[in-house]
Amino acid sequence: MPRSWSWPPATRSLECPDVLGLRLAYKRRARLPHTRGVESRVFLANVGANTSHRYSSPLFDDGSFELLPIPETPPEPGPNSVTFAELRSWGDPSVSLKRFLPARLWGVAAHADPDFRQLTYGDNCERAPRAHALRQIQPGDLLMFIARLRRATGPAEAQEAGFFLIGYLEVDQVVANVAGRPAGRLPGRFEANAHVRKGRNDDRHWDGFWVFGGSKRSRRFRRAVPIDRRIAELVLRDATDKPLTWGAGRSDLQVIGSYTRTCRCIIDPALSGDARHRLAILWQRIHEFNSGVT
């Protein structure tokens, strides 16, 4: 990973669509704080294409980016699927993302999650050990997303990859353990989530997944936020609340990738004495690259 990443100074606020609160049957907090609470827990989920997929989410010179999803399982599209050929640029929905993808994927179903337009994220929290920790999430917690991005400009040998925060949900609804087809439609925004689409295609995929909804304060960052070794040492902790272990023949990129492969709570003020300090560092880092995030 390069020693540093830098873009032009942030000059504009981020925007996200309004989202109405849901009623009944979902865990929720009646009111969310008007300011970012120092008691917030922060969870981290690694999303999007990784080294095993042979394509990369592009990072541009101004710090903007596109998140390319992983292929769906099974890869054959159903009536509710979104294929890779149908993916559109975040900044300009009239622009296809096909130029960043191998042609072999164009007709394959894409697992486009998180959904920053509807502010949802789903995961197999019951079946997949890597996602078990997300079952602890409660309304008011923050779910941060980290992704592996690669520079999209310059010669191939200069297109470095790195890990970046790309956005977060301030969770206000949790739909837990969806283990059977719902009697009716789920509240609107959840119907667009990749896990729900998959279940609508085939009842076998109502398989105990969880779906999280974000408040209006949730954000997709306009500029990616670099997570290098310095920031990882200051903010991240392992399962025993210890700093990450570096070296052992692994690059910084490999260490961060290995650590973030499993979803986890990275900041819990109830368990760690330095949690508030690390949370402040995390928000300071986000503000370095994105204005208007509160």
- CA separation for the pair 150, 103 (Å, rounded): 19
Nearest of 276, 206, 260, 248 to residue 51 by alpha carbon: 260
pLDDT in tens, 12-69: 333 322 222 222 233 333 233 333 555 789 999 999 999 899 899 999 999 999 999 9
Contacts of 186 (CB under 8 A, 6+ apart): 175, 196, 211
CA 224 to chain centre: 12
- As a whole number, the mean pLDDT across the chain is 86
Closest to 46 (Cα-Cα) out of 290, 281, 254, 257: 257
Q: What is the pLDDT of residue 184?
A: 72
* β-pair partners for 147: 47, 164
Output the pLDDT for position 12: 35
What is the torsion angle, in degrees rounded to the nearest 10, for the CA atoms of residue 155, residue 156, residue 161 and residue 167? Answer: 70
The mean per-residue pLDDT over the stretch 215-223 comes to 97
What's the average model confidence in pLDDT over 137-160?
A: 88
Residue 81 pLDDT > 50, yes or no? yes
pTM of structure:
0.87
Residue 35: its pLDDT value, please? 39
Residue ranges covered by each domain of the chain: 42-52+118-289
Whole-number pLDDT of residue 159: 77
The confidence score (pLDDT) of residue 90 equals 97
Position with higher pLDDT, 147 vs 292: 147
Supply the pLDDT for residue 22: 23
Cβ atoms of 253 and 161 within 8 Å: the answer is yes
Give the largest Cα separation in the chain, rounded. 53
C-alpha gyration radius of the chain: 18
The pLDDT confidence band at residue 103, using thresholds 50, 70 and 90, is very high
- Per-residue model confidence as pLDDT tens digits over 154-197: 766 567 999 999 999 999 999 999 998 887 767 788 999 999 99
